[in-house]
Amino acid sequence: MHLLTWTLVLIIGSFLEYWILLFISSLFVDPKKIYEKHSGYYRWLLVSSTWHLIFVGRVRFHTKGMEKIPKDQRFLLVCNHRSKLDPITTWYLLQDYDLAFISKEENFHVPCWGRLIRRCCFLAIDRENPRKAMETVNRAANLIKDDQVSIAVYPEGTRNFGEGLLPFHNGIFKIAQKANVPVVICGIKGAEQMPKNFPLHGTDIYFEVLDVIPADKVKTSHCNDLGDHARDLMLSFIEKNEKENGNVNLRTL
């Protein structure tokens, strides 16, 4: 009995110490600064804190095509977007690739996590201001060229609460063209079910790497053509997963 009690005390104490460390570490991040150097320490905090969400939510990842992701170079990742949990589950699943998302400004004001993502070189974008949006595109390309992070972005620009896909903002493909890197096209489904399933049920999230466009082809293609290709693949992924969820590799956490 005493052993069980002390074990529980140790677990709870370690949990509290971790979150205190997380909170204190976040205070050292300047909420107004745009960081140009990636931090391995803050990446560890981001991924490890995400693990708690994945564990408590009993998330089961089903993946396909992961072997297509470039292992020896940075890239631009594009994906469909239906849930505010899409980026969280994606940066956890692809934690080996140091993804930095381009996101709306509000996400950088989330307590603790807002500072963590800022320190991991995530970038805010002003969709209403074309000049500032292009500045973000240039910063993203520079981060890739400096080998700090790979960039992830949702071409739809915001979450899609309906069927199919929203119109694409094809200008985001300029990031890959400027940085001369491949475009990794992905599809995700299931994260939108987590709030409904919790706490009684776990959630199955399906993530598939649909295609990787080589850097030389990206460089010589029009952004609209790249967007059309990515859109077609994502639509096929969505339609396929609405009919069946077979032929995947299961990774349960």
Q: Which CATH number fits the domain that encloses residue 15?
A: 3.40.1130
**What was the pLDDT predicted at 38?**
97
Residue 3 has pLDDT above 50, yes or no: yes
**What mean pLDDT comes out for the span 64-72?**
95
Taking alpha carbons only, the member of 49, 57, 41 closest to residue 18 is 49
**What mean pLDDT comes out for the span 12-18?**
83
Q: How many domains does the chain have?
A: 1
pTM for the full predicted model: 0.90
**What was the pLDDT predicted at 251?**
37
Cis peptide bond prior to 195, omega within 30° of 0: no
The count of C-alpha atoms lying within 13 angstroms of the C-alpha of 131, restricted to the half-sphere facing its C-beta, is 0
Split at pLDDT 50, 70, 90, the class of 20 is very high
DSSP 11-61: HHHHHHHHHHHHHHHHTTS-TT----S--HHHHHHHHHHHHHHHHHTTEEE
Return d(Cα 187, Cα 81) in angstroms, integer.
9
Q: Tens digit of pLDDT for each residue in 71-122?
A: 999 999 999 999 999 999 999 999 999 999 999 999 999 999 999 999 999 9
Which one is predicted more confidently, 50 or 128?
50
Residue 248 has pLDDT above 60, yes or no: no
Split at pLDDT 50, 70, 90, the class of 245 is low
Residue partners of 74: CB distance under 8 A and separation at least 6: 144, 147, 149, 150, 151, 179, 181
**What was the pLDDT predicted at 250?**
35
Residue 161's domain spans which residues?
2-252
Split at pLDDT 50, 70, 90, the class of 237 is very high
